[in-house]
Amino acid sequence: MQSFTGLRSTGLRQMSRQSARTSGWGAGLIGMLIFSGSLPATRLAVSQLTPLFLTGARAVIAALIAAALLLLLRQPMPARRDAASLVIVALGVVAGFPLLTALALQQIDAAHSVVFIGLLPLSTALFGVLRGGERPRAAFWLFSLMGSLSVAGFALWQARGGGASLLGDAYMLAAIAVCGLGYAEGATLSRRLGGWQVICWALIVAAAPMLVLALVTRPDTLAGLPAPVWAGLGYVSVFSMLIGFVFWYRGLALGGIAGVGQLQLLQPFFGLLLSALVLGETVALGMVAVTGFTVACVAGAKRFA
C-alpha cells in the first residue's frame, strides 16, 4: 500500500511538472508574439524621435503603469538579496536592449534588424546556464545552433540587396547580448517574485535615470507628430516594455530558460511579416522555407531541453 501511494505521488508530481512546462511554453509563445512587434514599432518611433528620448520615454511610461499595478495589488517590496538581480534586469531589458536597438534602427531597416533576434535563443540559453544553473542536453545545443545558423544565414541572404550597416549590426549584436542576460536573470528571479512583479520592480529601479534621460533629450515639441510615431511609442511602452514580459518571464520560469527561449527563433519571421504589413518593407519568399526548418529546430530543442 505504501509503495502504491509512493508511485501515485511520483506520478502526480510528474504530471504537475509537465503541466507547468506546457503552461510555460504557452505563456512564452504569447510573449514572443508580443515582442515580434517591438522592432517594427521602434522603427516607426525613431523616424521622428531620437533613440535616447525613446528609450527614456518608453521606460517612464511603463514604470508609471507598473507602479500603479504594484500599489493596487499591494505587492511587498523585494528582498535586499534581489536588488542586484533587479539592477541587471533593468540594465538588460529596460535600458540596454531598447537603446541599442533604437540606435541600430537609425542605421538599418526593421526587416534586417529582426533577423538578429534569431541569435537571442542562444544568448538566453547561455546565460540560463551561467545565471540560472540549467543544464540542457547536448542534443538541445545541436538544435539550438542549427536554428540560429538558419536564421543568421537567412539574415545574410535577405540583407544582400541593402538595408545593412556594420554599425547597425554591431548595435544589434550588443543588444542581443544584454537582452539574453536580462531574460535569464529575470526568469531566475521570477521563481521567487513572480513574472509580472519582476518587470514591474525592474522598471521602478530604472525609473529615475530614465526620467532624467527623457527630460534631457526631449524634443522641442511633441505637437504635430504623425499618428504612426505615437502608435510606435505606445506599443513599445505598454506591450514591449511591460505586457510582453508578464507572459515571457512566466514562460521562462515555468518551462525553462533554455527551452522556452528557443521560441525566439520564430520571432524574426513574425517581425518580418509585420515589417512588410506595417512598414511596407520587402520580405523574401525564402522566409517560408526557413520558417519551416526553424519550427522543426524549436520542436527538437523543446524535446531535449
For residues 232 and 136, the model is more confident at 232
Using DSSP's 3-state secondary structure scheme, residue 120 falls into helix
pLDDT at 62 over 60: yes
Residue type for 19, please? S
d(CA 6, CA 12): 10
Q: Nearest Cα to 253, choosing from 14, 28, 19, 91?
A: 28
pLDDT of 286 reads: 62
pLDDT of residue 7: 41
Yes or no: say if 42 and 117 are a contact pair by the CB < 8 Å rule. no
As a whole number, mean pLDDT of residues 210-223 equals 91
Q: In angstroms, how far apart are the furthest CA atoms of the chain?
A: 77
Each residue's pLDDT tens digit, 156-208: 665 555 555 778 888 888 998 899 899 889 888 888 888 789 999 999 999 99
Please give the Cα distance from 210 to 10 (Å, whole number): 49
C-alpha cell at 123: 544568448
Alpha-helical segments (H) within the chain: 2-35, 38-45, 51-72, 83-89, 97-104, 110-113, 120-132, 138-158, 166-193, 195-217, 227-235, 244-255, 257-260, 267-274, 287-304
Instruction: Please name the residues in contact with 26: beta carbons below 8 A apart, sequence gap of 6 or more.
Output: 251
Report pTM: 0.78
pLDDT confidence of 4, banded at 50, 70, 90?
very low
